[in-house]
Amino acid sequence: MRPVLCASATMCENRTVAGIDAQTLGERIRDARKRADLSQEDLGRAVGLERTVVNKIEGGVRKVTALELSDIAAAIGVRMSTFFEEPVPALVAHRSSQGLDTTDSQIDALLAKLANEIEFVASLDVDELGLDAADAVPQAGITQPLTNAEAEALAVKARDLMALSAEEPICQLSDSVASIGLLAFSHDVSKDTADAGTILLRRGGVSLVNSHMKVGRRRLALAHELGHYLIADAYTVDWRVADHSDHAVPMESRLDRFARALLLPNAAVTRQWNEKVARSGERSAAILLASEFRVDMATLATRLKELGLADSETVTSVRKYRTTQADIVEMNLYVPLEELKGTTVPRPFARAVLRLVRDERISRERALDLLQGTFDEADLPHIRERRPDEIWDFVS
Amino acid sequence: MTVPDDAWVFDTGPLRHFAIQGWLGVLRFLAGERPVYIPDSVARELDDAAEHMSAARAVLDAGWIHVHRSTSRDFSEAFAHYVDRLVGGGKNLGECGVLAMGQIYKCKVVIDDATPRQIAKEKGIQVTATVPLLCEAIRAKKLTTVMVEELADNLLEGQYYLPFRPGGFRQHVLENGLLDYDEL
């Protein structure tokens, strides 16, 4: 329990808050506490208040000081400002459909936090964030793909929007999706939760990829999330990308197809598969293609099957192939830095945070927080030299 | 009771340094009739600091320094905005209370750290810092230039940004007209 105030200091009177505000605030605290799966007793213990006091705060009966409120927010694991701001519409709709008593999954909670962080940075009008690029998406006239052919066509359109040629491998998918306003973060949320999720923001979107998966699966999951973003799904959490049955969840299955088509474009894969098989055999062809397009063998196998490039025996074999160290040396494979490994933040977001630090609009501590631990204090830019005229800022 | 707009509201850093040097009396003299406040967030930081630096306790024990806390929605909302700008890893809560008071009560805040000062300027909050207060103390013959030079150098050794290098206080205040030769 923290000491609230020094008893010997003179205390001034509290200002009051209108009843309706205290009520609304109390309700927001209660909702956030429940989503964090905390009891009133848990919260009270964390902030040094009796359970009955927490109950009164949530009921709008007991007013709460700003400092107490910041303690409550910290204990719940949300930013204090979330008590005063309307969440993005996608979150509001999702939460109202889930009901108040639902506890957020880890990925839901992280997604909501990231959405808030992006909206906060966006509120400071930092050009580097680049969410203006999202405006191209609604203008592209995209509709939900109802057939596999439409999923393939959507992949072609997505490449066009991201200024990628029809056949080139997508080296850094997270950079490409950012170019149309989808900011992709990764975090190892453990294997027992969803693969990825996406929330539409007021402008742009945010995706979170569970980096517990290997790189090929992470990229496939992000490609799938891009599909949700393009068709303007407001809130999505995907548990098993690429395992969707066409019968049970046709739209998810279409987006799985879209994801594979995006990463492994039809024309390029068809031509290269045939050439490489003829030259070096199926195993080498599979390893070279998977390496070049940065997909896992399961994705490549499914793609070869759906494009009619391999019979079922070959598809089964491809699924089992593993790239060895010898393959990397003998085939002279390029091994890039792994995308979306561990905790990562999208480049435009990091750039925007660094701009805010340089301009001294946020503290260095807050910047490290926003950067999700991907930066150390020493990685942040040094405080800029003051211009001579700014010296006058230091005198009254 | 609200906070008067002629009040001075102090951040933890400047107060801690005045307290360590044993100069709180000087500060009281400089404040004159103006009331001096700290938000409860600064009181907490000083309370934490007092565990390993007993001088900080003197601030909390000073009856003329009022601790302010507020349940006003406007105040909490302003506080929350500054938390968004400044707080990471549980640090900088004190400044959030100071800036919220400056915004809501239109009083002058005393902050030394560059970022919250910049934010205060952006929000139209009156802001001053340790250096001008020290100059005022010299001008009022409450502190000598030698004493202040030493403190200024100590501040520079820590995390403080001051617009001069160690040993440069005297030259800086002269060059910028903060003090005249006969005041040094």
Task: Tell which A residues from 362 to 391 touch B, by Cβ distance under 8 Å.
Answer: 362-370, 383, 386, 390-391
pLDDT-based confidence at residue A134 (cuts at 50, 70, 90) = very high
Q: How far apart are CA A337 and CA A340, in angstroms?
A: 9
Size of interface A-B (CB pairs under 8 A): 187
Is A311 a residue whose pLDDT tops 80?
A: yes
DSSP tally for chain B: helices H, then strands E: 10, 5
Write a three-state SS string for chain A.
Answer: CCCCCCCCCEECCCCCCCHHHHHHHHHHHHHHHHHCCCCHHHHHHHHCCCHHHHHHHHCCCCCCCHHHHHHHHHHHCCCHHHHCCCCCHHHHHHHHHHCCCCCCCHHHHHHHHHHHHHHHHHHCCCHHHCHHHHHHCHHHCCCCCCCHHHHHHHHHHHHHHCCCCCCCCCCCHHHHHHCCCEEEEEECCCCCCCCEEEEECCCCEEEEEECCCCHHHHHHHHHHHHHHHHCCCCEEEECCCCCCCCCCCHHHHHHHHHHHHHHCCHHHHHHHHHHHHHHHCHHHHHHHHHHHHCCCHHHHHHHHHHCCCCCHHHHHHHHHCCCCHHHHHHCCCCCCCCCCCCCECCHHHHHHHHHHHHCCCCCHHHHHHHCCCCCCHHHCCCCCCCCHHHHHHHCC
Nearest to A10 among B67, B75, B84 (CB): B67
Conformational region of residue B69, where left means phi above 0, alpha means psi within -120 to 50, and beta covers everything else? beta
By DSSP bridging, strand B8-10 and strand A205-210 are unpaired
pLDDT tier, A97 (very low <50, low <70, confident <90, very high otherwise): confident
Closest CA to A352 of A135, A118, A172: A118
Nearest by CB to B176, from A13, A370, A395: name it. A395
Calculate what percentage of chain B has a pLDDT beyond 90. Answer: 50
Nearest residue in chain A measured CA to CA from B127: A396
User: pLDDT digit string (tens) for A14-32?
Assistant: 333 344 478 899 999 999 9
The pTM of this model reads: 0.89
Dump pLDDT digits (tens) for B67-110. 999 999 999 999 999 999 999 999 999 999 999 999 999 999 99
The pLDDT tens digits for A163-185 are 999 999 999 999 999 999 999 99
The pLDDT of residue A92: 81
CB contact under 8 A, B69 and A5: yes
Our CA-based measurement puts residue B165 at a distance from the nearest CA of chain A, in whole angstroms, of 12
Q: Which residues of A touch B116 (CB under 8 A)?
A: 363
Residues of B in contact with A390 (CB under 8 A): 163
CB contact under 8 A, A363 and B90: no
Nearest to B69 among A2, A14, A83 (CB): A14
* Average pLDDT of the residues in A75-85: 93
CB contact A70 to B (< 8 Å) = yes
Nearest to B88 among A359, A360, A365 (CB): A365
Q: How far is B170 from chain A (nearest CA, A)?
A: 14
Per-residue burial over A302-335, b = 16 or more CB atoms within 10 Å of its CB, e = otherwise: bbbbbbebbeeebbebbbebebeeebeeeeeeee
pLDDT of A12 strictly over 80 = no
Q: Do B122 and A361 touch (CB under 8 A)?
A: yes
Which of A350-354, B19-23, B70-74, B152-156 has the weakest average pLDDT?
B152-156
pLDDT at A152: 97
Q: Do A393 and B69 touch (CB under 8 A)?
A: no
In this prediction, residue A366 has a pLDDT band, given cuts at 50, 70 and 90, of very high
Q: Which of B75, B113, B122 sits opposite A66 (nearest CB)?
A: B75
Place of tokens 């393009």: A230
Q: What is the pLDDT of residues A244-275, one digit of tens each?
A: 777 777 899 999 999 999 999 999 999 999 99
Q: Which of residues 91-130 of A touch B (CB under 8 A)?
A: 120
ipTM value, please give it.
0.90
Output the pLDDT for position B30.
Answer: 87
Residue A9: list chain B partners with CB under 8 A: 43, 60-63, 65-67
Instruction: Name the β-bridge partners of B110.
Output: B10, B128
Predicted local distance difference test score (pLDDT) of residue A102: 67
Say whether pLDDT at A376 is over 70: yes
CB A357 within 8 Å of CB A381: yes
